[in-house]
Amino acid sequence: MDPLALVLLLIAGCIAGFLAGFFGVGGGIILVPILVFYFHHINISSLVATHLALGTSLLIVIFASIPSAYQHNKNGNVLWRIVFIMGGASVIGSIIGANIAAALAGKTLQQIFATVVIIAAVRLLVEQKAGKVDNGIDGNTMKLGVIGLIVGLVSSLAGVGGGVFAIPMMYYFLRVPLKKALGTSSASIVITALASTIGYIVKGWTTIDVYAPQISDFTIGFVDYVHSIPLIIGTVPMAKYGAMVAHKTHADNLRKLYAVFLLAIAVKMFFF
């Protein structure tokens, strides 16, 4: 890895980490576009660049989510019962998603990523107020399990921790206040991203004879562990800072910033 690439990846990790903590989404929504672009730049084949970007993003998301979840928990914004039920169900969804993703073309995966992000952003934008859901959280186990299953599936197919889908689903269907949805998402992402990463490693191993000529020497399955290091170094400390800033930001402003940010990322990926 040349020094310039090292510095750029480190800076990208800092940005992704802050956004992970601030928006509670694990950083994958910014990491995936960065990694897709980077892998193309270093001449990784388009047959596998997107798969590699998704798997590597999920590895980084694990490290980004831990300090973010810690800070959100300190602020009292993590609902642990929801974390464990959703996280457990997401493991099943992650396994299914990893198997589907391995069979899809890279461009299709990018479009799935963009579509998921657009849906989440639009739903947040059309909501009138974020402060009217503070009471009466719906903790129905069946609903939590279904949401977890969907989040795990989306996580594997889009290369994100699942926060882009988990947050609006908790906000709309479970009536979880936005800040608590952000914090709870950060914690559940650790479980979801870990399961999805393992899925990409296993599927990469099982198809190694097909993709070996197109993958670098620094991979385990569909996960590039070397290029993930500077991103992780930048991501981890900034995730905690992002969570601190989120705690001091008005809920309505946070919702609008989150939605606009998601739309910008989605448009970029659709036409990349």
pLDDT at 256: 77
pLDDT digits (tens, 9 = 90+) for 175-200: 888 888 888 988 998 999 999 999 99
Q: Is 224 helix (H, G, I), strand (E, B) or coil?
A: strand
Q: At what angle do helices 28-41 and 3-23 cross, to 10 degrees?
A: 160
pLDDT at 22: 74
CB atoms under 10 Å from CB of 131, counted, come to 11
* pLDDT beyond 70 at 153: yes
pLDDT digits (tens, 9 = 90+) for 194-209: 999 999 998 888 765 5
Contact 83, 187 (CB under 8 A): yes
85 Cβ contact list (under 8 Å, min separation 6): 141, 144, 145, 148
Per the model's pLDDT, the better-predicted residue between 253 and 50 turns out to be 50
Average pLDDT over residues 73-82: 92
* pLDDT beyond 90 at 91: yes
> What is the pLDDT confidence band of residue 130, given thresholds at 50, 70 and 90?
very low
HSE-CB for 98 with a 13 A CA cutoff: 30
pLDDT at 216: 61
- Taking all residues of the chain, what is their mean pLDDT, rounded to a whole number? 82
| Distance, CA of 171 to CA of 162 (rounded, Å) | 14
- pLDDT-above-70 percentage for the chain: 86
Contact 159, 25 (CB under 8 A): no
